[in-house]
Amino acid sequence: MELVGPGALMSWVDLPAGTGFGLANLPHGVFSTPGTAPRSGIAIGDSVLDLAAVTGDPVHATGSLNAFLAQGPTAWRELRARVTDWLTDEVYRARVEPHLIPRGDVTMHLPVEVADYVDFYSSRHHAENLGRILRPGSPPLLPNWRHLPVGYHGRSGTVRVSGTPVVRPHGQRAEPEGPPSAGPTRRLDIEAEVGFVVGAPSELGTPVPLGAFPEHVFGVCLVDDWSARDLQAWEYAPLGPFLGKSFLTSVSPWVVPLAALEAARVPAPPRDVPLLPYLDDGDDPWGLDLSLEVRLNGALVSCPPFAGMYWTPAQQLAHLTVNGAALRTGDLVASGTVSGPRRDQRGSLMELSWGGTEPLTLAGGTTRTFLEDGDEVTISGTAPGTDGSRISLGEVTGRVVPDPMREE
């Protein structure tokens, strides 16, 4: 095969105009067809390449990406190169084409068996908005925020694939005065985030420096970290969010390899205070120009830009491990809500409705502060590809269903 840049490559697969799933993307996911077991595949145009079948390698037949991700970056690069060959060189067509399945015919599954789920708080605009809403009159950022990526562990056992119904959670709700009430949340919210999936593990006691980020992280998905703000407000002091978040976290089904995001890398924003050496990314920042869109019942309500995130995913990983914490294959490291400086760039309803005080107006004149039963939220994302196209991060969606225990 000739040595040519990816911009020059053409696939024999019939790719729809403007597809976000061209040769520059090649995201990994787990799919099934009726009557068959979940297995790994790669999206190409409107099809899925059945990796288990085309390779015959049982690593792709386990029902999660973990076994392949654990093989590490050399294996990731080699497979990407092989799949690119298969999809571009006509000589492979007869062997490969029978293993292309229309994406409309498959069911997507959770791509990764999640090990630990860590959620950061890395958008300055989001943190400042929350500070202004929740602590009016105080400085919007707490003293630690500029010095380290604030984060916490979430519940990995309730991470589910896009499309999982969002059952309105029940719990103890903050009331303006007096004791809490019990019942379904009245402040069900979204958080539009980007998640980074760890492939290669690290040893306990060995920090992962900034430069090792692409040796450990395989790729990127979209995350909706559903939140019950009234549960969260009551429970969170002093140990952080718990039941306000742990009922469900949804992820997009396609994990876009970091290798597909080379053209999306951008500088990090200026920082207010000198960074400690383990966080100083001056030479090699991992800012990423990902563009998110949030739709509520079909109406575009926000376009959060990932490029301006104060803390990058490489800094998040370096911080997460500076105390010697080990990484495992399947760790999901999310950015926290992505919000930009403009109102129409905010990544949560808490911000979009300013704590419920400024309702959003949707199509037909309906309004929303927080989510109502039946509402559907979809977060999608794109990034510049290495061939000049825009590649798709797919989407993560969910529809709210009532709390089955409600008595109201």
Residues that bind a copy of itself (CB under 8 A): 115-116, 121, 142, 144, 147-148, 150-158, 160, 164, 167, 169-172, 179-180, 182, 204-205, 207, 228, 231, 234-244, 246-248, 273, 276-278, 319-320, 322-328, 331, 404-405
Nearest to 130 by CA among 335, 336, 355: 355
The answer to whether 60 is a known catalytic residue is no
Q: How far is the CB of 274 from a copy of itself (least distance, A)?
A: 8
Cβ atoms 85, 92 nearer than 8 A:
yes
Residue closer to a copy of itself, measured from CB, 325 or 362: 325
Q: How far is the CB of 218 from a copy of itself (least distance, A)?
A: 17
| Exposure letters 43-82 (e unless 16+ CB within 10 A, then b) | bbbebbbbbbbbbeeebbbbbbbbbbbbbbbeebeebbee
Residue 236: both structure tokens together = 């969170």
Nearest to 85 by CA among 20, 3, 17: 3
Cβ atoms 30, 65 nearer than 8 A:
yes
Would you say how long the chain is, in residues? Answer: 408
List the 376-384 sheet strands across, edge first: 166-167, 390-401, 376-384, 291-296, 299-302
Residue closer to a copy of itself, measured from CB, 232 or 392: 232
The one catalytic residue among 126, 170, 216, 319: 126
Residue closer to a copy of itself, measured from CB, 144 or 357: 144
Residue closer to a copy of itself, measured from CB, 40 or 164: 164
Residue closer to a copy of itself, measured from CB, 12 or 278: 278
Q: How far is the CB of 155 from a copy of itself (least distance, A)?
A: 5
Q: Where are the alpha helices (DSSP H) in 157-255?
A: 213-216, 229-235
Q: How far is the CB of 403 from a copy of itself (least distance, A)?
A: 8
Q: How far is the CB of 301 from a copy of itself (least distance, A)?
A: 25
Q: What angle do CA 50, 54, 60 make, to 5 degrees?
A: 60
Residue 394: both structure tokens together = 């797919």
Which of the residues are catalytic? 126
